[in-house]
Structure 1
């Protein structure tokens, strides 16, 4: 990475740090460490990694991966990993390894969103190594689940289910939202190869969610909206198109306001399913709504849905609504391109 690029990322990273609620000291702690004024770390540095990971994830959810992943990669290489080389008590080191595992997992997830699957796997492997060193089975299982999601998206059904099953082993005795979190992915992974297994895992996820206390934040952002998305995916693969549409609509209604990238992507998917049902006008209206927010999202997987939309609508160019949507899609709002950060 060139000096000018590094400078831009550092400036952006500090700007992000200043927006972390209740953490105005983050920049000072990072600067003190990088400047050599701090050689032994404590729980304050663990809090820095945790808070920055959370804030970067919020940026990813709101604006898309290409805005957020360069910040995550820079913070991981230049702050989190150097922290691991510093002197620390044993409990501090274990907590820092766990926090760094979660940062690696997030960075791998964002690489998946950009279509950088080899890079994503390298981040995931490092996340597993850090989680294992910390003896953090929750972080380890969560990373295996992320790898299963990637394998599912790539069409590797057997690998996806094997990873999902391995991840679910860490859910025994866990709170209900966590059980739903893993069972939902097991259903998603099994959907293309084994109908009965997919439905069994889906029932487990629905049962766990129905028993969950969702008064606070759901585990790892897995909530009824996320479960409905899994229900929709399974119904779609099993040929229940109308059911898939109903579940996806329910998922979209329940999405948290901050999940803008997910909201836009799911609107594109909903439009595709409306078209499959033969509802061209409804599909075009849904695509038009997705395009309203598309310019503010920089995400590889959202871009894939735009490309799919164009291919699906070209045979319908004789329809005025379809022509209008295609015209909007063919007028790019911004340049696209990967950030080029390792």
Structure 2
């Protein structure tokens, strides 16, 4: 996680020199098409996983969006297309993280930062930095996660309650992983205040709700050593979820819940949670979920004499082998 992150001042308004194709001209309709396709790809990623959706996103980037970026256009259209490409590039990086292709994800993320600057889109720039912090945190790299989350906060172009929650919730998790307890708890309280003030409507990217806050709280508590509290917060998360929440994250967070239930000795509860995951797992094409499921047999191996644990472990093994 030591890669160099281009600062906003270094990328704003700047585009790599490229030859304009005079045979092709684009307008607002092409920008609208890229935006609409990004939303569809995001829906597919949410429902089926990054390994399913990323090849489509990558192909669309290369075959359609890259030629649009080289096409003749008005200055306003060029700016809008570049910003739309930045968002798609960010989403493709997010999918790569789900696959477990972390180096590739970082390449997409850095390119998205450059495109966001070229398109003068500070909101996407901020979201990408926050996404990079999430990636670092999920890999257990607390200090880089703090650096990236703080960079996102510094770059944030707005101070709406939901944006503040979106950023400070991630700062809290990053601080907790880095062992900065006071900063973690302060950031979590700020995220809670911001959620309480936030408007009800969620955006396609960056929606932060009470359910998201409960998950952030669970992550902070676990990183600070409070596994029981983390379990309670994850249960709060599931109670607060609604139809807009991702199917994949439901399974990922349920897997974390099961691991933490086992960690505190609640074997049968952990197996029940894992069984609910395994019932839905075949429909998800996610490298992260593959890794979560692959851990189940080894985590349950000390309990092989327990019939419930043995059945859950065997079910996981069968699905892994398919």
How big is each residue's C-alpha offset from its partner over 1:5-27, in whole Å with a ceiling of 9 and x where there is no partner? xxxxxxxxxxxxxxxxxxxxxxx
Query: What does residue 254 of structure 1 align with?
Result: 240
Matched, 1:231 2:238: no
Q: Deviations over 1:43-78 (max 9, x none)?
A: 111111111111111101101111100000000000
CA contact (8 A) 1:295 1:333 kept: no
Post-superposition shift, 1:99? 0.7
Q: Which 4+ residue blocks in structure 1 deviate beyond 6 angstroms?
A: none
Relative distance call for 1:106 and 1:156 in structure 2 (3 A) is same
1:207 offset after TM fit, Å? 0.6
Q: Which runs of 5+ in 2 are unaligned?
A: 1-20
RMSD: 1.8
Aligned to 1:281: 268
* Partner in structure 2 of residue 330 of structure 1: 317
Structure 1: distance between partners of 2:217 and 2:47: 24
Aligned partner of 1:134 in structure 2 is 119
> Take 1:334 and 1:326, find their aligned partners in 2: how far apart are those partners?
12
Say if 1:147 and 1:217 are closer, same or farther in 2 by CA, change over 3 A.
closer
Q: Kindly tell me: are residues 276 and 224 of structure 1, through their superposed partners in 2, closer, same or farther at Cα, counting changes over 3 Å? A: same
Instruction: Please give the alpha-carbon distance, in whole angstroms, between the structure 1 residues aligned to 2:304 and 2:209.
Output: 39
**Rounded Cα–Cα distance in structure 1 between residues aligned with 2:118 and 2:147:** 23
TM-score, normalising length from structure 2? Answer: 0.89
Distance 1:224 1:161, change over 3 A: same
1:177 corresponds in structure 2 to 162
Shift of 1:333: 6.7
1:120 aligns with 2:105: yes
Q: Is the 8 A contact 2:294 2:320 kept in 1?
A: no
Work out the CA distance in 2 between the residues paired with 1:151 and 1:217: 24
- Whole-Å Cα distance in 1 between the matches of residues 140 and 201 of structure 2? 36
Deviation at 1:231, TM superposition (A): 0.5
Q: Does 1:76 align with 2:39?
A: no
Aligned residues of 1:181 and 1:219 also touching (Cα < 8 A):
no
Q: How many residues align?
A: 300
